[in-house]
A and B are shown apart, each in its own frame.
Chain A
Amino acid sequence: EAGVAQSPRYKIIEKRQSVAFWCNPISGHATLYWYQQILGQGPKLLIQFQNNGVVDDSQLPKDRFSAERLKGVDSTLKIQPAKLEDSAVYLCASSREWSSYNEQFFGPGTRLTVL
């Protein structure tokens, strides 16, 4: 089966600019996750969708980050405006259902550099 697709792979922007990332999960996977991975650290969950509904966005900085999964398939994550500390790899993952017992499949990530 095709894996999780993400684009772009790399993005360089200046602070205060806006940026958007796109993710297409594995077909049939109901749950979609966005993680932020700062260099040298483990991934941190930003937001989790079950179909097109948000089930956990407690760690999403809502003043500048937003995400949507309108049709319950692909998703976009937006940062507006970006700050220097947003430089990180943004990983998208999907799983069959909303349960930690379901294996999460990760995409290759988008590496964001904010100058």
Chain B
Amino acid sequence: SQQGEEDPQALSIQEGENATMNCSYKTSINNLQWYRQNSGRGLVHLILIRSNEREKHSGRLRVTLDTSKKSSSLLITASRAADTASYFCATDEETSGSRLTFGEGTQLTVNP
């Protein structure tokens, strides 16, 4: 079953704009991760945020986590055409035994 639900399903922006994607989940988690998948490729790990963290940065990426609302957001600043990809959140549920459960993803298109 899918734990995370991403919103929006698809997002189209211009280069230089910021992109925000949201993820909601249902059960208590140990951590939440974001992955990127370019068309026809495997997934690439972007960032991990632990359940006791509220915000984390990595380069142009900013992730927030609100455990009271069971939601997370991924912000990509100053987007580039190369950021065009699908973005997935993945949660490690407290009862899952370190199994990651992925959402259905947000398809981001950055137009040059």
Once the chains bind, are B104 and A100 in contact (CB under 8 Å)? no
Contact of A98 among B40, B48, B90, B98 (CB under 8 A): B98
Once the chains bind, are A41 and B104 in contact (CB under 8 Å)? yes
Give the number of chain A interface residues (Cβ < 8 Å). 23
Residues on B with beta carbons closer than 8 Å to the beta carbon of A105? 45
A42 with B103, Cβ < 8 A, contacts A56-B97, A100-B98, A108-B41 known: yes
Once the chains bind, are B104 and A42 in contact (CB under 8 Å)? yes
Contact of B100 among A40, A55, A104, A109 (CB under 8 A): A104
Residues on A with beta carbons closer than 8 Å to the beta carbon of B18? none
Once the chains bind, are B104 and A40 in contact (CB under 8 Å)? yes
Residues on B with beta carbons closer than 8 Å to the beta carbon of A41? 2, 104-105
Residues on B with beta carbons closer than 8 Å to the beta carbon of A56? 97, 99
Instruction: State the majority secondary structure of interface residues on B.
Output: strand
Residue B25 is within 8 A (CB to CB) of chain A in the complex: no
Residues on A with beta carbons closer than 8 Å to the beta carbon of B103? 42
A43 to B102, CA, bound (A): 6
Contact of B48 among A42, A48, A103, A106 (CB under 8 A): A103
Contact of A107 among B4, B42, B99, B101 (CB under 8 A): B42
Once the chains bind, are B31 and A101 in contact (CB under 8 Å)? yes
Shortest Cβ distance from A33 into chain B, in angstroms?
Answer: 8
Residue B44 is within 8 A (CB to CB) of chain A in the complex: yes
A98 to B97, CA, bound (A): 9
Residues on B with beta carbons closer than 8 Å to the beta carbon of A108? 40-42
Once the chains bind, are A48 and B31 in contact (CB under 8 Å)? no
Once the chains bind, are B48 and A101 in contact (CB under 8 Å)? yes
A to B CB contacts below 8 Å, 25 in the list: A40-B104, A41-B104, A42-B88, A42-B90, A42-B104, A42-B105, A43-B88, A43-B102, A44-B102, A45-B101, A56-B99, A91-B42, A98-B98, A100-B98, A100-B100, A101-B31, A101-B48, A103-B45, A103-B48, A104-B43, A104-B45, A105-B45, A106-B43, A108-B42, A109-B42
Residues of A bordering B, CB below 8 Å: 4, 40-45, 48, 55-56, 91, 93, 98-101, 103-109
